[in-house]
Amino acid sequence: MKHQHKYDENGKQLCCTSEEEINNKTNKQTECSCTDNGPENHSDDDGQGNSAKEKSTFQMFLPAIISLVLLLIAIGFDHYFTQSWFTGWTRIVWYIVAYTPVGFPVIKEAFESIRKGEIFSEFLLMGIATIGAFAIGEYPEGVAVMLFYAIGEIFQALAVQRAKRNIKLLLDQRPDTATVIKDGNTIDKKASEITIGEIIQLKPGEKLALDGKLLSDNASLNTSALTGESKPDTKQKGETVFAGMINLNTVAQVEVTTAYLDSKLSKILEMVQEATAKKATTELFIRKFAKIYTPIVVFLAIGICFVPMLFVENYIFNDWLYRALIFLVISCPCALVISIPLGYFGGIGSASKNGILFKGSTFLDIMASIQVVVMDKTGTLTKGVFKVQKVVAVDISEADLVKYTSALETKSTHPVGTAIIEYAKGTEKNVTVTDVEEIAGHGLKGKVDGKEILAGNVKLMKKFNIIYDPEIDTTPFTIIVIAINQKYAGYFLIADEIKEDAKEAIHSLHKINVKTVMLSGDKQAVVDAVAKELNIDQAYGDLLPENKVEKVEELKLKNLKIAFVGDGVNDAPVVALADAGIAMGGLGSDATIETADIVIQNDQPHKIFTAINIGKQTKKIVWQNITLAFVVKGIVLVLGAGGLATMWEAVFADVGVALLAILNAVRIQRMKF
């Protein structure tokens, strides 16, 4: 297709632009009322959306319907209802009238292309072929070729509209207005006019228009527009909420912290729209190929028509011209030119629906060939939050051990102490804590309800000559050992919690023969323990950022395709070095969207496998279309040049290949990942 669309800051579609103008930001004056083949209704759904859509589709098909009816009547007069008046100029004019609704737009496009310097276009091929058919008296074939070509173009336009639907769903997540609280009253205000610091009231079922800070005690939100996951996410007072989230329960209030155009969803939409303009290597090759292929086809057709004059005794010009016209019809590259970009567009749309943002179709190709996935540990495979994983109490109840320890830890600001307090869930209240002393590098000493409590690492126990369980020395994770009145009382095992789907993610990657490597700055013992639990192939700990770069360089020396998964900020050098840089949890960080090639909007490691799978399926579909087009066209080209195929067979083969390729391309949008 020859046109794409742009959107303004409100998500409203703007005028169609050519591929060469797609990055031109100046065309933002008027709303779009055109598609690649005809007018399209872009009005919002107001209860009449369906009828508007049907009317638009009918308008697209109307010229073809008129042409088809006139063609069938003419064929009927030619073969079944022979009339004396349907001869000579009457017959010619009738077929010209039948040709005009579908042929005139194509001839016009051919002249426009020539005027712009693009002489050898598919429009020129179809124009020459059909006008040539008229010149040798093959009027029905001339009309039929253009008619079926037009029908194929309409189906292409409908397929592109369908492919855009997933991205348009994202556009629909940005409300144009929001309810603002001002001087104790509520007023409706355009979202683009709301300023930072204003307070939005969000009713149940409403979508948030701008990013902000939750002022209500809590709110349950549907985040599917941003993450692809419909599971509700509960936010607490003070937490950040993003445009596009849907409030599920009670009325909530949000203080705006980001301008409308700078919201997270706006940036995501901008990235997805730009991604459709960044072409994959295969896509670029086909476009270059078509520019070379089309003039070659035209000159070959000329050769088929005139060269036999030198070698064939009974040379008949009309017969060889007819063969040349068949050659032109079947050689039209439209099946490749539309189905391949459509396949990549569908892949990007399917990925965005699953909460995965590709920054261009080229990364779909790269992900399809990934051999090694290198992952950071913290924030990628683990949650990056210290949690109490295990409590062991000796000669004391676990409840009392938790109560005394958490009470003492309230006097510390160490993250480990915070993990114990969260685990205690308030049991430390109504407990007297006195004489607290922090021993640097060891832990805490103090009195809780008159009992002397020691809480710290094994060095603290050794300092006070307290005998503890020797198995503690062999544990790779953080251990807080407790002594009460100079006697060992148990310990807390604290570790970074592994994400729920991390094990499934690694297993899925192994199933498609992708090797897994984990790099981390944590101590090697901790890294080994996590790797063993998740069954990761190789794991390296005690690494600085430059050490991570060295490890990736070692893998690249083996000519392996590598994807690196991290936070996209601290690991920027490794992200740049890898063939594909993937940012986890991009929802919370602007920098991740800027740094990575692919952004996974939530924190699910399994989406790494999903991204690879979408890339593989997209590439598979694209190459199926390429193979289908070349094989069928090659066969019919030979048959046509040899006089064994008619123009009817040529047009059915051409349109049939195009439609099969289109149907195959849109298949990815129906796939479940």
Query: Hey, which residues are catalytic here?
Result: 376
Contact criterion met (CB below 8 Å) for 580 and 565: no
As a whole number of angstroms, the distance between CA 646 and CA 141 comes to 9
Token pair 């051990």 is found at 401
Residue 371 CB burial class (10 angstroms; 0-12, 13-18, ≥19): middle
Sign of the CA dihedral with 597 first, then 603, 609, and 610 last: negative
Sign of the CA dihedral with 516 first, then 520, 525, and 527 last: negative
The two tokens of residue 583 are 């940012």
As a whole number of angstroms, the distance between CA 347 and CA 160 comes to 12
Q: How far is CA 55 from the centre of its chain?
A: 30
User: In which order are the strands placed within the sheet that holds 478-484?
Assistant: 382-393, 487-498, 478-484, 451-456, 443-448, 433-439
As a whole number of angstroms, the distance between CA 152 and CA 160 comes to 12
**Which strand (E) or helix (H) includes residue 519?**
strand 515-519
DSSP label of 115: H
As a whole number of angstroms, the distance between CA 647 and CA 563 comes to 50
Calculate the CA dihedral of residues 569, 605, 425, 464 and round it to 10 degrees. Answer: -70
Residue 365 CB burial class (10 angstroms; 0-12, 13-18, ≥19): buried
Q: Which residues contact 202 (CB under 8 A, 6 or more apart)?
A: 179, 208, 219, 247, 251, 252, 253, 254
First to last CA, the chain: 28
Contact criterion met (CB below 8 Å) for 374 and 612: no
Contact criterion met (CB below 8 Å) for 451 and 431: no
Contact criterion met (CB below 8 Å) for 29 and 15: yes
As a whole number of angstroms, the distance between CA 508 and CA 530 comes to 17
Long-range contacts of residues 181-186, Cβ cutoff 8 Å, at least 24 apart: 181/253
User: In which order are the strands placed within the sheet that holds 538-540?
Assistant: 356-358, 598-600, 580-584, 562-566, 372-376, 515-519, 538-540
Strand-pair partners of 372: 515, 562
Contact criterion met (CB below 8 Å) for 456 and 414: no
CA separation, residue 645 to residues 264, 326, 653 (Å): 57, 8, 10
As a whole number of angstroms, the distance between CA 616 and CA 384 comes to 31
Alpha helices in 172-255 (DSSP H): 224-227
As a whole number of angstroms, the distance between CA 260 and CA 270 comes to 13
As a whole number of angstroms, the distance between CA 359 and CA 336 comes to 23
Give buried/exposed letters for 266-290 (b at 16+ CB in 10 A, else e). Answer: bbbbebbbebbebbbebbeebbeeb
As a whole number of angstroms, the distance between CA 26 and CA 539 comes to 50
